[in-house]
Chains A and B, each alone.
Chain A
Amino acid sequence: MIEQILVSTFILGGLYCLLALGFSLIFGVAKVLNFAHGAFYMLTAYFIYSLLFAGLQIAIPISLILIVITSFIVYELLIKPMHEKEMRAAVVTLGLVLVLQEGVKLVYGPEFKSIPYIITGYVTILGVRIVSQKLLAAITAIVLVAALYMFIRRTKQGKAIRAVAQNMEVARLVGINVSRVVMMTMGISALLAGVAAVLFAPVYIVSPTEWSILFRAFPVIILGGLGSLRGMLAASFLIAGIEKIVEYTIGGGYIVPTITFSLMLIILLVRPSGLFGHTTK
Chain B
Amino acid sequence: MRDKDLKNAAELVKKAWSFRLKIFLLTSFILALLPALTQNYYILEILIFANIYSIFGASWDILGGVTGIFSLGQALFFGVAAYMSGALNLFFGLPPWMTIPIGGAFGVIVGLVVAVPSLRLKNEYFAIASLIFPSILAGIIFMYPELTGGGIYGLAPISGDIVVTYYSSLLLMLVSIYVLVKILNSRIGLIFRSIRDDRETAEASGIDTTKYKFLAFALSGFFAGIAGGFQAHLLMSVGPFVFDPFLSLQAMVNAALGGMGTIVGAIGGSYLMSFLNEALRSIAQFRVFVFALVMILVFRYLPGGIMRLLAKRYRISLETWSGLKKLRRRENDAINP
A–B proximity contact (CB within 8 A): yes
Contact A87:B139 (CB < 8 A) given known A92-B299, A98-B292, A272-B117:
no
Complex partner residue of B139 from A81, A95, A215, A258, CB under 8 angstroms: A258
Contact A27 B143 (CB under 8 A): no
Contact B125 A261 (CB under 8 A): no
Q: Which residues of A contact B300 (CB under 8 A)?
A: 78, 81-82, 88, 92
Tell me, yes or no, whether B204 is within 8 Å of chain A by CB. Answer: no
Complex partner residue of B295 from A81, A95, A106, A261, CB under 8 angstroms: A95
Contact B295 A98 (CB under 8 A): yes
What is the bound-complex CA distance between A53 and B311, given in angstroms?
A: 55
Contact B133 A91 (CB under 8 A): no
What is the bound-complex CA distance between A274 and B300, given in angstroms?
A: 30
Q: Which residues of B contact A87 (CB under 8 A)?
A: 70, 123, 127
Contact A106 B285 (CB under 8 A): yes
Contact A265 B133 (CB under 8 A): yes
Query: Main SS of chain A's interface residues?
Result: helix
Residue on A with the closest CB to B283?
A106
Minimum CB–CB distance from B268 to chain A (whole Å) comes to 19
Minimum CB–CB distance from B271 to chain A (whole Å) comes to 20
What is the bound-complex CA distance between A82 and B299, given in angstroms?
A: 10
Complex partner residue of B122 from A82, A91, A258, A278, CB under 8 angstroms: A278
Contact B296 A261 (CB under 8 A): no
What is the bound-complex CA distance between A97 and B292, given in angstroms?
A: 8
A interface footprint on B275-303 (CB within 8 Å = 1, 0 otherwise): 00000000001101101110110011001
Q: Which residues of B contact A27 (CB under 8 A)?
A: 124
> Which residues between 226 and 281 of chain A lie within 8 Å of chain B, taking CB atoms?
226, 254-255, 257-258, 261-262, 264-265, 268-269, 272-274, 278
Minimum CB–CB distance from A247 to chain B (whole Å) comes to 14
B interface footprint on A68-109 (CB within 8 Å = 1, 0 otherwise): 000000000010011000011011101111110111011000
Contact A99 B70 (CB under 8 A): no
Tell me, yes or no, whether B99 is within 8 Å of chain A by CB. Answer: no
Q: Which residues of A contact B129 (CB under 8 A)?
A: 222, 264-265, 268
Contact B296 A95 (CB under 8 A): yes
Q: Which residues of A contact B140 (CB under 8 A)?
A: 258
Tell me, yes or no, whether B249 is within 8 Å of chain A by CB. Answer: yes
Tell me, yes or no, whether B194 is within 8 Å of chain A by CB. Answer: no
Contact B127 A258 (CB under 8 A): no
Tell me, yes or no, whether B25 is within 8 Å of chain A by CB. Answer: no
Residue on A with the closest CB to B256?
A91
Complex partner residue of A91 from B121, B123, B293, B299, CB under 8 angstroms: B299
A interface footprint on B2-34 (CB within 8 Å = 1, 0 otherwise): 000000000000000000000000000000000
Complex partner residue of A33 from B117, B127, B135, CB under 8 angstroms: B127
Contact A102:B289 (CB < 8 A) given known A218-B132, A261-B132, A272-B125:
yes
What is the bound-complex CA distance between A91 and B64, given in angstroms?
A: 12
What is the bound-complex CA distance between A261 and B285, given in angstroms?
A: 31
Contact B123 A261 (CB under 8 A): no
Tell me, yes or no, whether A221 is within 8 Å of chain B by CB. Answer: yes
B interface footprint on A184-205 (CB within 8 Å = 1, 0 otherwise): 0000000000000000000000
The size class of the interface chain A forms with chain B is 35 or more
Complex partner residue of A255 from B72, B143, B252, B292, CB under 8 angstroms: B143
Q: Which residues of A contact B122 (CB under 8 A)?
A: 272-273, 278
Contact A99 B293 (CB under 8 A): yes
> Which residues between 149 and 207 of chain A lie within 8 Å of chain B, taking CB atoms?
none
Q: Which residues of A contact B142 (CB under 8 A)?
A: 254
Minimum CB–CB distance from B127 to chain A (whole Å) comes to 6
Minimum CB–CB distance from A152 to chain B (whole Å) comes to 20
Contact A272 B132 (CB under 8 A): no
Minimum CB–CB distance from B130 to chain A (whole Å) comes to 10
Q: Which residues of B contact A82 (CB under 8 A)?
A: 300
Contact A99 B292 (CB under 8 A): yes
B interface footprint on A1-45 (CB within 8 Å = 1, 0 otherwise): 000000000000000000000000001000001000000000000
What is the bound-complex CA distance between A82 and B288, given in angstroms?
A: 24
> Which residues between 110 and 147 of chain B lie within 8 Å of chain A, taking CB atoms?
117, 120-125, 127-129, 131-133, 135-136, 139-140, 142-143
Minimum CB–CB distance from A267 to chain B (whole Å) comes to 11
Q: Which residues of B contact A106 (CB under 8 A)?
A: 285-286, 289
What is the bound-complex CA distance between A78 and B297, given in angstroms?
A: 10
Contact A254 B117 (CB under 8 A): no
Minimum CB–CB distance from B286 to chain A (whole Å) comes to 7
Question: Can you list the 4 inter-chain pairs with the closest CB atoms, starting with the nearest?
Answer: A258-B139, A98-B292, A95-B295, A102-B289
Can you pick out 23 interface pairs between chain A and chain B where the beta carbons lie within 8 Å of each other?
A: A33-B124, A33-B127, A78-B296, A81-B300, A82-B300, A91-B252, A92-B295, A96-B292, A98-B249, A98-B289, A98-B291, A98-B292, A101-B292, A102-B288, A102-B289, A215-B132, A218-B128, A222-B125, A258-B136, A261-B135, A265-B132, A268-B129, A269-B117
Chain B residues with CB under 8 Å of chain A are 70, 72, 117, 120-125, 127-129, 131-133, 135-136, 139-140, 142-143, 249, 252, 285-286, 288-289, 291-293, 295-296, 299-300, 303
